[in-house]
Structure 1
Amino acid sequence: MTFEQLDLIEPILKALQQEGYTSPTPIQEQSIPILLKGNDLLGCAQTGTGKTAAFSIPILQKLYKTDNRKGIKALIVTPTRELAIQIGESFESYGKYTGLRHTVIFGGVGQKQQTDALKIGVQILIATPGRLIDLANQGFISLKALDFFVLDEADRMLDMGFIHDIKRILKLLPTKRQTLFFSATMPPEIEKLANSMLTHPQKVEVTPASSTVDIISQSIYLVEKKEKTDLLIHLLEDKSIESALVFTRTKHGADKLSRVLKKAGIPAEAIHGNKSQNARQRALTDFKSHNLRILIATDIAARGIDVDMLSHVFNFELPNIPETYVHRIGRTGRAGHEGIAISFCSAEERPYLKDIQKLIKKAIPVIANHPFISMEGINAQKEKEEEIKIKAKEKKIYQGSRSNGDYWRRKKQAPQNSKKTNSPNIKNK
């Protein structure tokens, strides 16, 4: 299928053509017709599947065809400033020939530039929850004329404690609206939130909930906690690793790892909530343009990082929430490209690994051949080798017994050549 077959207007088709897009992804192919018909949508899709275009394109088309464009007509709420900026860039790209105006608002920076844009007037607003509520309370934002509401990355919203902010935002919205709800995973609490917001929604699920992209090659390195840094330096000495996003659990851990890598001659930058917006944007820009090879991030800061041809994701520390693992490795393997996800697992993180493998319904291969393997890893490898030997022995015994059984069955079924066989008494028995 092509975008032309989705009955898109010429201004959007022209923009898509200039971006080099000809065929929609599965979630775009399924979602765009539903949204153009005016239905609410519950979308379950992994990161990197093209869901931003799945909701931005139909919103742009419907607003383009609307005569009355005064006021904010579409609101997109997303958990992080990086993701908000990325969504804003998508609306800029796809809507460049529509004449529609949009702006992005988020915290951590002065509000004047954002309020100036709001005063001029926009039809599309992309916002993080805190700054949206703040500016609404100050009277800069009115959502009475809203037609479209998009809640993006809903599962991450709940992980970050935004549930009360979401409830406050819902009170600001008109009852009559088209609501779009997107989440990479769909645990029970997310379904409950979706049911409270949506009216007879159409559901689009392009991949099983909480699954990982098939084209991402995943592996586990069993390593002592104190030797993780040495292992990372050892692996990053491989120049075939063109770009790598490294996840740590804490802001302090990200900064410390960045300093150690730089000392080892490996340029790296860290981004997290304590960094200024300018510093974060500078590091992200360098990373996206491949001027920076290694970026270290916490989970919150990494949401919204969309890098073409990101070859590797490293889980320096395994997340204690298994769904977070899905989000992390989804930074690679995007837009049909292959990706590699490497995770370090210490003894105390083994329960996290067990939960992750239970969630994704697959065992992640363990790499035993590395210079920093833990004693636990060595023992696990010995157990695996012993298991293989036992299985091979059992198979040999089974094959031998099967061969003996075949022999005796053939002997029993063989025709009798003795004269007694042909006697009338034998025939009549």
Structure 2
Amino acid sequence: MSFNQFRLRSDILKGLKDTKIESPNSLQKKIFKAVQTGNDLVINTTIDEQPEVGYLISLLNQIAQTDRRQGTRAIILSGDKERAKQLDEWIWAIGYHASIESACITEDGDPEDQKKALSAGPVVIVATPHRLASLLEESRTIFREVEQMIVDQAENISAWKDVDSISKRIISTCQRIFTASSDSKQLREAEKSLLTDPELVTVAKKEKKEKESTTEKPAITKDLTQYYINVPPRSKISTLMAHLKRHQADTVIIFTASRRTADRLYKIFRKSNKRAVSIHDQIDKNTFDERLGRFTSGNVQHIIVGELSAADIPLEYATQVINYDVPEEVDEYRLRADLVGDGKASRILSLVSKQDRSDIQTICGSLGYAPEEVPLPEEVKENGSKGKQKPKKTTSKKSGGRGKKGGRGKKRPQRGSKKKQGVNLDALPRPTFDQLEGGRSGKKKKEEKEEKGLAGFFKKLFS
């Protein structure tokens, strides 16, 4: 997934291209989204995971949206002067096309030159806490426009008094962010003193992800209970509801691609008298914990997840995991499948629509085999068949009794002509899992006669 999803300005995208950063990882995406909330954050990460890609891209994009390039908007503090220099150079590279500059204030620089740099009002200040605090004390500087104060590698900060002194000089509304790879009593005290109701941003199963990063492709065992249903157009909701009707005793976690879809499904579940809750990345921690608790305690039977990774959900147990929307990334599919592999769920099912085909094909190719195909529920087939028969009945009545108006009735079948609706619903789900990319072709009839069904395509896939 590229940075285009973040709607960044072209100047920032050019800077990312210059630094050869092609796409964000899952943690960087979480950081970017968390920064958008404006809440104080504690990011559990190491410098190897490059958290700055998440929090600085958001910051630089905000700055790039205005023409003004004077007046300090952000302060980044690091206990390591080399790390401070690295961040300063990174900001210069990313912000080059947007004319965003920063001032680096460390013990290596000349204090007088640094005073001049501060008085010029750099957009971003990157500094070690002690040097910056002493210069600000001498000049009695007050910040009225700072929007973010970031303490990078907070576990390495020893002089928290200097950080507190700098923080008190910010009189504007400011988001404060700590990044840290480990916890300590001193760090918790600093969080309590400087942050307001901070949100924790982390990636679960860190050790497992580090182990997985050593392999080129994620590998999920073939004996894992994985299934999919090939869903015809405009039938995903009815397919989901029909499937759940067959498994009424199951506890189910349903992953969707957006908050809007999660909210929509929640309303449908409520109207159908199904016990459900929905969670997404915009609800606060208390609400998240309360809703997840209702699911894990058995108070509700279904939990609908929107725009959250499986790594964000401390699931204890669910009978099955359903991908209402197939994830775009193989790693996310793996995280969801891990819920099954770890015994936290019994099986995983994906609802594959036309829009999901390229994603599921990528996942299938990465796994090296296809999950088992589950037939489309009979009620969904019947509803689809009835829907196709209605235009024919309407056409025959109008054409027989209304003369010229009957001509309109003859045009209706052209909307769903045999070329467009020539899918044999009784034979669904087709195309099979490993053929999903590309959809209908209509040109390779000879090949279809030679090899049909799941077995034929598996032969081609692994030949």
TM-score after normalising by structure 1: 0.46
